[in-house]
Structure 1
Amino acid sequence: MKVVLDAFDAGPLLRITFRTLAWPFRWLGYRGDLSMPPAPRALTALGPAYIKFGQILSTRPDVVGDDLAVQLRVLQDKLPPFSMREAKAEIQRELGQPFDALFSSFSEPVAAASLAQVHKAHLSDTGEAVAVKILRPGIERAFRTDIDAFFFAARAIEVLSPSSRRLRPMEVITHFEGVVMGELDLRLESSAAAEFAKNTDGDTGFQVPSIRWHLSSRRVMTLDWAEGTNIGVNLALDAAGHDRRVLATRVLQLFLNHALRDGYFHGDMHQGNLKVAANGDIIAYDFGIMGRIDEYTRRVYAEILFGFIRKDYQRVAEVHFEAGYVPANRDVDEFARALRAVGEPIFGMDASRISMARLLNYLFEVTERFGMETRTELILLQRTMVVVEGVARSLDPHMNIWQVAKPVVEDYIKESIGPKALMRDLVKTARILSRFGPQLPQYAEETLIRFNNPPPPPKPQRPLTPLAWMFLGGAIVGAAVWIGTLL
């Protein structure tokens, strides 16, 4: 706890409160792996859902500090693995074939995360190298326990702090549950990988390994082996001759392209899920968490980014109101002024001079002052943006995120918010109307009939008579007496 409080530079009152609340429980619970540093050991002991939170923090040394970020990096892919015996038994059970008939070689785990671990293997029939991902035994029940605890905490927060209801804690946990429970079916992850590979097939400098469908199931997934250097190890990247500034630009622009152009993006782009091939291509894997945003949301998101890039804070504020992100009863000019206070201090600065912790703190103050509620459809997009920016910053601490984002956002604006986009929308609308063309006369006739023959007004409900109230009261008392005798 001390490590976390130090990382967030917590004040004395917060430290005393946490220590007082935690003291009665210090002898309870699971001690975890004593060989691990304190913070990752605590998160690992708490459970897989908490490890997810630690993975996000590990990408933000500017928020939690360099030392804690390095400690938390082990949560990405270096957790204690389960045994080879369990792994082989799971493969044989899931794929329904003898293990030796499938693989000629099978390595010890090369990566182990909160939900699954990965082995390098060679196929018996072709000798090709593949990666085999296997879910941890009992992970479904462990995650269910964590989610139930989160729901309990969210309910408690809503009851004890009415002002927090604008953050929709229950809806946030429901969204998180849906996202993560999808990770527990590797058939869905295989499908996501195939769709993502199709969307990004023409992206220069980017690779997605192919899925081996005949060797994949609900708890086992097999895909082509991706050889490369972990994108989080700067010394190894430098030794391999990669230009980290180019990689930083590419990883951020790729994410923006996937989110804006395709509306389908990798939702877990931390360093543990990215490699750099020998030719400099970025290789993505682990497709359990994928984000999808509709065309309207993409246009709103692009307009907001474009407004910040052009320093047009009035337009950024107007877009927030048009999209319903800010209540209509608030002042748009005041909101624009608040956004200027966000953008001006960081515009044109390189990443090393921007305090993300201070910026996030001020953004939270702005959302509270203007009554902005949590938008669950944007949670994954915003979270991934924070993670990707953290990965890019770790590669090039002096990158300017606005300059890097500008060409991608401008290209999308030209294609999606202009005359060409309007014509495309009109054509799409006409196509939909033509599909329902044969039924339009029937719809018009039914509408006219309903208009000319409105339904009769509902009959007023008669109030209960004193005699009815007496019978109702007697029934309630009788039921209470009967329940009491059963108890």
Structure 2
Amino acid sequence: QVHRARLPSGERVVVKVQRPGVDRLIETDLDILFTIARLLERYVSEVSFYEPVGLIEEFARSIKRELDFTSEASNTDLFHRYFESDPRVKIPRVFWDFTTRRVMVLEEIDGIRIDDLEELDRVGADRKRLAANLVDLFFNQIFVNGLFHADPHPGNLLVLEDDVIGMIDFGTVGRMAGDMLREIKNWFIAILDKDVDLMAKIYLKMGIISEETDITQFKLEIADFLDRYLTRPVERIHLGEVINEIVTSSPRYKMRVPSVLAMLGKTIMLVEGIVRELDPEVDIMGIGRPYIAKLMLGQFNPKEWAKGVYSTFSDISEMARTMPFQVNQIVSKLNRGTLKVDFEPLGLDRLIYEMDRSSNRLTFGMIIAALIIGSSIMVWSNAGVKIFGYSAIGIVGYLIAGILGFGLLISILRSGRL
């Protein structure tokens, strides 16, 4: 729940309060999701590749972070400091003295929802300026800060006086740093340059490509898609859709895309939807071009090269320092006969499965044979209750053996291996 309030100092604030018991309700929901994910991972081979349990674990971490209001307050504070000197945007100030895990107090920002076009026109807001500023602010978040508001729906974006954009609700943010940020910047360059070879290299560096990935087919599909999409008129190019198409096509080629890429695609799609309502003729690619140009120039920046060289030499130095000790350990273990090597033969799981199935059928066949022999002995001995002059136990045994034998035959025929 969110309430308006006034501090003893007279400052107007909003108070966000967590509903009692919501954490227990979420724990119950997560338990149900984990149960479903485990069943899918165990019994549905087409789904198991995507590691549903891992996806739910990531979702659980995300939603638990949102339950801790101090985490959202920290995000808000960070964005406030990043954009404090930017006159185009307003981020609320956090009042830490009144903020806890379940209660958050923020400076009140009163404005018009950014999708309320009628009200914006009534107050004389410059919609073209708003659209251009919003795109630029998000490019700045992604490419400069490596930290972006990941839930920019219209309810979280307000228009204040003088076309200032107010941003609220930083419960979900996307973070990129170090190698990840560098590779995502290169990923954007690859998209706009239609360089599928660079994209494949980036995916390889990020650990997205698996042994089952058909790289050639993936590159052909993406190249065809980018050729068709990026040759459209500027106003018809939707960057969010381009990114989303690349992200959603990746699983077809057995590639595990990091959640931050999916989050980035969703964020850009939301922002694009808003800015095209504000200004249908907005040139998103044109606004983003200076950022992309800066990224491309950054690749030839001596400082960046120096950083890369320093990082490489640091790695080599560390390796040279630790290698003699590690080699000495291996030799010592070899001398003592205690060196262990783990290996996993490919296809062994399938072999074990086939052997298990064969032994199960053999056991089943032996049980059926035993039932037939036992039933035959009972029938010829004339012992016990009789049906039509034959031993009832023997007849029941024959029936059970017949049913089991029929089931075994059907199983063998279905497998296609007689």
Same fold, TM-score > 0.5, yes or no: yes
**SS class of match (2:228):** coil
Deviation readout 1:76-114 (Å, 9 max, x if unpaired): xxxxxxxxxxxxxxxxxxxxxxxxxxxxxxxxxxxxxxx
**SS class of match (2:163):** coil
**SS class of match (2:217):** helix
Given that 1:342 and 1:363 are in contact with CA atoms closer than 8 Å, whether structure 2 keeps it comes out as: no
**SS class of match (1:287):** coil
Q: Report matched runs for 1:374-389 at 5 Å.
A: 374-389=257-272
Unaligned residue ranges in structure 2 (runs of 5+): 341-418
Q: In structure 1, what residue type is equivalent to 2:26?
A: F
Aligned counterpart, 1:395: 278
In 2, Cα distance between equivalents of 1:149 and 1:245: 47
Q: Report matched runs for 1:328-477 at 5 Å.
A: 330=213, 332-347=215-230, 348-349=232-233, 364=248, 366-415=249-298, 418-427=301-310, 446-447=325-326, 449-450=328-329, 453-454=332-333, 456-458=336-338
Deviation readout 1:96-149 (Å, 9 max, x if unpaired): xxxxxxxxxxxxxxxxxxxxx22222222x212111111122221222232223
Which of 118, 122, 125 aligns to 2:2? It is: 118
Deviation readout 1:311-337 (Å, 9 max, x if unpaired): 333433333334332336645443322
Unaligned residue ranges in structure 1 (runs of 5+): 1-116, 461-487
Name the Cα RMSD after superposition.
3.4
Which of 164, 167, 184 aligns to 1:281? It is: 164
Which of 103, 108, 133 aligns to 1:250? It is: 133
Shift of 1:262: 1.8
Note closer, same or farther for the CA distance 1:427–1:210 as it changes in structure 2 (3 Å cut).
Answer: farther
Note closer, same or farther for the CA distance 1:448–1:367 as it changes in structure 2 (3 Å cut).
Answer: closer
Structure with larger Rg: 2
**SS class of match (1:327):** coil
Pick which of 404-413 and 296-305 moved more: 404-413
**SS class of match (2:162):** coil
**SS class of match (2:49):** helix
Shift of 1:363: 6.0
Given that 1:267 and 1:380 are in contact with CA atoms closer than 8 Å, whether structure 2 keeps it comes out as: yes
Aligned counterpart, 2:102: 219
Aligned counterpart, 1:144: 27
Note closer, same or farther for the CA distance 1:420–1:290 as it changes in structure 2 (3 Å cut).
Answer: same
Q: In structure 2, what residue type is equivalent to 1:183?
A: E
Q: In structure 1, what residue type is equivalent to 2:159?
A: V
Aligned counterpart, 2:351: none
Shift of 1:182: 0.9
Note closer, same or farther for the CA distance 1:431–1:118 as it changes in structure 2 (3 Å cut).
Answer: farther
Note closer, same or farther for the CA distance 1:459–1:399 as it changes in structure 2 (3 Å cut).
Answer: closer
Given that 1:168 and 1:374 are in contact with CA atoms closer than 8 Å, whether structure 2 keeps it comes out as: no
**SS class of match (2:288):** helix
Aligned counterpart, 1:313: 196
Q: In structure 2, what residue type is equivalent to 1:174?
A: E
How many residue pairs are counted as aligned between the two chains?
337
Which of 189, 198, 207 aligns to 2:81? It is: 198
Which of 18, 23, 42 aligns to 1:135? It is: 18
Note closer, same or farther for the CA distance 1:175–1:416 as it changes in structure 2 (3 Å cut).
Answer: farther
Shift of 1:211: 0.8
In 2, Cα distance between equivalents of 1:355 and 1:275: 23
In 2, Cα distance between equivalents of 1:377 and 1:457: 46
Shift of 1:175: 1.1
In 2, Cα distance between equivalents of 1:248 and 1:167: 37
Note closer, same or farther for the CA distance 1:432–1:168 as it changes in structure 2 (3 Å cut).
Answer: closer
Determine what percentage of the aligned residue pairs are the same residue: 27
Note closer, same or farther for the CA distance 1:227–1:379 as it changes in structure 2 (3 Å cut).
Answer: same
In 2, Cα distance between equivalents of 1:388 and 1:379: 14
Q: In structure 1, what residue type is equivalent to 2:338?
A: P
Q: In structure 1, what residue type is equivalent to 2:5?
A: A
**SS class of match (2:17):** strand
